[in-house]
Amino acid sequence: MKVIICGAGQVGTGIAERLAAEGNDISIVDASTELVQRANDVLEVRALHGNAAHPDVLERAGAREADMLIAVTLHDEVNMVACQVAHALFDIPTKIARVRAQSYFDPSWRKLFDRENMAIDQVISPEIEVARMILRRLETPGAFETVTFADRRVVLLGISAGSDCPVIDTPIQQLGQLFPDLNAAIVAIVRGGKLLVAHAADQVQVGDDVYVIADAAQIARVLQIFGHEETQARRLIIAGGGNIGFFIARELEERDANMRVKVIELSRNRAIEIAEKLNRSVVLHGSSLSEDVLREAEAPFADTLLAVTNDDQTNLLTAALAKQIGCRSSLCLLNSANYSAMIRSLGIDAQLNPKTVTVSRILQHVRRGRIRGVHTLHNGAGEVLEAEVLETSGLVGKSIRELDLGEGIRFGAILRKNALVRPTGDTEFEVGDRAVLFARADHVRQIEQLFRVSPDYF
């Protein structure tokens, strides 16, 4: 597949790295000579300097033969125009644009992104995607990562195994015997900084980060088995009143009348602006790095603090300070992976990387075959995918054992005719099955091939 990526920033290079490693023909376009040079130096791609909205630049990037254009430059307008040019002049089949300015998503302008008005197949707002991810995490206290699949019937949970975890040193294969009614499967483990595929004989160890694919109706039970029985937050502090913080506060006001939300915003003008738009949330003007401001927000008595400013260091220190003065749990937004190793040592409970969220969302539309959902794990070392079995698929009637998948893939759940099936080696695929599985990065292409659409499907 030939893909043009407009923008050589973190998201653009992240996508390019993943797709190039899978053998795709990738071209990157960016207006920064420095970013273009870096992309040519470190990636197996062709990087060109120029404005991605200019037809001649896209033509040099190979637009006449391209299958897809992904526009993720720093400028929304360049992204939108690049998609329009790709459609009008080069007839590129699939066009994805990142749009960050929230004014474009005002309900008053909802027609803007209709297919007949704007030639964009998929519009992605990083701020909204990140906010929604945080809201899902708030629904599952005790998990550091929460992603839903199969119409929210299946959930991926990232769970930390502490010293009080009841299943420490228990082989994974025995969990099914201990909890026969539990529809859940451990699919991956992060141990010593490495993402490992979980096997039947493996044992959960103290300090592991465990990824579990489970029935969404059994989330509380799964967390309890791993020693997490935290209650949902009722007193919440949001450090940062930007697009993400404001979106979370507004959504919580609509969803839960009992939630007490306080927002800390450094900019006086922005604090006044969001205070006028929010109904029940309390907005405080000040720095979240000030212990006095945190105490004014009642951080020592809060259930959760979300540090979602646009500055990594501010988020890191705010989350750490809040925990130090008594806040029960904290989550911080980190754009740079360089700070990840500090999270646990500072007592911070969870982190979220906006780049990872955005890349996962884009890959959902890039993956071939009948891939309905994608979420990347551990900086792209693996993916959890939702894939559908079509009538023309070679999977129909075959068991998982017959597929001879090797060591890099583990199935977690199958949604079949509105019922969840816990997959075993003897499970045979049926038409319409929606499988949720983990694949190591070097096995993703194999999954795409397994669930590919046969030509006679059309």
Residue 257 maps to which CATH number? 3.40.50.720
* Length of the chain counted residue by residue: 458
Tell me, yes or no, whether 251 and 309 share the same domain: yes
Same domain, residue pair 322 and 363: no
Joined tokens for residue 341: 């190793």
Residue-by-residue pLDDT tens, the chain, 458 positions: 899 999 999 899 989 988 888 788 999 999 999 999 999 999 889 999 999 999 999 999 999 999 999 999 999 999 999 999 999 999 999 999 999 988 888 888 878 888 778 889 899 998 999 999 999 888 888 888 899 999 999 999 999 998 889 999 999 988 888 898 899 999 999 998 899 999 988 999 998 999 999 999 999 999 999 999 888 889 999 999 999 999 999 999 998 888 899 999 999 999 999 999 999 999 999 999 999 999 999 999 999 999 999 999 999 999 999 999 999 999 999 988 777 777 777 888 888 888 888 888 888 777 765 788 889 898 888 999 999 998 877 888 889 988 878 789 999 999 998 899 999 889 999 999 999 999 998 898 888 888 875 544 43
Query: Rounded to the nearest 5°, which phi and psi values hold at 74?
Result: -75, -10
**Which pLDDT value is given to residue 116?**
78
> Which pLDDT belongs to residue 337?
75
Verify that 289 and 395 share a domain, yes or no.
no
124, 159, 177 - which closes a domain? 124
Answer yes or no: is 222 within a domain.
Answer: no
Residue 88 domain boundaries: 2-124
Q: For residue 413, what pLDDT is reported?
A: 95
Assess whether 361 and 297 both reside in one domain.
no
Residues 284 and 383 grouped into a single domain: no
Instruction: Supply the CATH number for residue 422's domain.
Output: 3.30.70.1450
Per-residue pLDDT, 457 = 40
| Helices 354-366 + 126-139 axis angle, to 10 | 100
Q: Is residue 431 part of a domain?
A: yes
* 41 within some domain: yes
Query: Would strands 260-265 and 282-285 be described as parallel, antiparallel, or unpaired?
Result: parallel
Domain assignment present for residue 336? The answer is no
Residue 100 lies in a domain: yes
- Cα separation of 30 and 72, whole Å? 10
Phi, psi of 332 (to 5 degrees): -130, 150
Q: Are residues 118 and 12 in the same domain?
A: yes
Q: Do 314 and 340 touch, CB atoms closer than 8 A?
A: no
Compute CA distances 330 → 126, 270, 318, 361, 374, whole Å: 21, 23, 9, 24, 26
Domain-embedded: residue 392: yes
Q: Which H or E run contains 248?
A: helix 243-255
Residue 106's pLDDT is 80
Last residue of one domain, picked from the residues 308, 327, 346: 327
DSSP characters for 118-161? S--SEEE-HHHHHHHHHHHHHHSTT-SEEEEETTTTEEEEEEE-
Residues 361 and 323 in one domain: no
What local confidence, expressed as pLDDT, does residue 368 receive? Answer: 62
Give the Cα separation of 442 and 440 in Å (integer).
Answer: 6
Tell whether 383 and 319 lie within a shared domain.
no
The verdict on residue 165 lying in a domain is no
Q: What's the CA gap between 447 and 339, in Å, rounded?
A: 32
Tell me which of 306, 327, 348 is where a domain ends.
327
- Residues linked to residue 305 through DSSP beta bridges, in sequence order: 237, 330
> Do both 310 and 367 map to the same domain?
no
Q: Are residues 9 and 96 in the same domain?
A: yes
- Do 394 and 288 fall into the same domain? no
Domain count, the chain: 3
Residues 32 and 35: their CA atoms lie apart, in Å, by: 5
Domain annotation covers residue 264: yes
pLDDT at 454: 53
